[in-house]
Amino acid sequence: MTCSVDGCGKPDASRQLCRSHYRRFLRHGDPLIKVRPDRGELLRYFTDVVLAYESDECLLWPYGKSRDGYARMRYEGKARYVSQLLCETIYGPAPTDDHESAHSCGNSGCCNKRHVRWATSTENKNDMLEHGTRCVGSRHGRSRLSEERARAILELAGTAPQRVIALKFGVSEGTVQYIQSRKTWKHLDKRDDRRSA
């Protein structure tokens, strides 16, 4: 038996579909769905839609994205971030090697030319912190503390030995030391400073 899709000719794996068409059926509910766009479709979308887009609203990239949600496409044989291509097209090459494309909207999948700019790595990380998209503090996958508990440890600096504070919160003495010396949970201070300003 061969695949029931016209012109396929591959051997039947399940439900009269070859492996590829059966996977598409399981994932998308349709064995004929087009998984990959035709060559040139992404470039056409980039030039005809993205560069022509004039709204202030986010324009979401409808094609492939990186694991962390950034819009990507192949350009001149290389996988590239759409935000970098936009910055290069609009503003020219990055001013320095330390500059990277940054989103003012905080949406990594956005490809609105009004929302991207060249920024240093530090500026980009500060933007991510402000947008709440940077994995710091309790958002970090390996964090065992909440923001409130880390802030409490920070506020107890100098009031009790770190060993006692560590026992109270069920963490290591090293964790307390790192929080109180601002090696970790640095963003707590920045947010407090912004609130008081």
Using the predicted structure, report yes or no on whether residue 102 has a pLDDT greater than 70. yes
Q: Taking the CA atoms of 131, 137, 139 and 142 in sequence, report the sign of the dihedral they define.
A: positive
For tokens 């409130």, the residue is: 148
Using the predicted structure, report yes or no on whether residue 121 has a pLDDT greater than 70. yes
Total-model pTM: 0.53
Q: Give φ, ψ of 13 to 5 degrees.
A: -105, -45
Confidence (pLDDT) at 153? 86
Q: What's the rounded Cα separation, in Å, for the pair 144 and 148? A: 12
Tokens of 169: 């919160």
Angle subtended at Cα 103 by Cα 102 and Cα 105, rounded to the nearest 5 degrees = 160
Distances from the Cα of 145 to the Cα of 137, 159, 160, angstroms = 8, 20, 19
Residues 6+ apart with CB under 8 A from 182: 189
List pLDDT tens digits, range 8-31. 989 988 888 998 888 888 877 788
Distances from the Cα of 63 to the Cα of 12, 36, 50, 92, 185, angstroms = 30, 9, 12, 24, 35
List pLDDT tens digits, range 139-184. 554 567 777 888 888 888 889 898 888 888 888 888 888 888 877 7
